[in-house]
Amino acid sequence: MFRASNDNGATFSDKVNLSNTTNAESVDAMISADGDTVAVTWWERNNTSNEPVLRISTDTGATFGPLLQLSHNGTLGNTDDSE
């Protein structure tokens, strides 16, 4: 879950479920922010998989791009800002 505050913690936005996974536990979350960009990474774990994932926001956490699976080979394309 993610909630943003743009007023030094006086108020927070509605919570957003960044993982929405039903077949894995979302664990070991880490967050980084720089200017308007917020990056949240965590591990999706179940009995057969341990997958590092990432979602990025470019509007201070108001919306996030798609779930990026970091251990897959290939090139990461542009992210859309949908929730």
The residues, ordered by sequence, that sit 6+ positions from 22 with a Cβ below 8 Å of its Cβ are none
Reported residue count of the chain is 83
The residues, ordered by sequence, that sit 6+ positions from 72 with a Cβ below 8 Å of its Cβ are none
- Model confidence, pTM: 0.79
CA-to-CA distance for 69 and 44, rounded, in angstroms? 10
Structural domain harbouring 63: 1-75
What would the pLDDT profile of 34-75 be if each residue is shown by its tens digit?
999 999 999 999 999 899 999 999 999 999 999 998 887 555
Residue 82 belongs to some domain of the structure: no
Residue 59 belongs to some domain of the structure: yes
How many domains does one find in the chain?
Answer: 1
Residue 71 belongs to some domain of the structure: yes
Residue 80 belongs to some domain of the structure: no
Contact yes or no for 35/23 (Cβ under 8 A): no
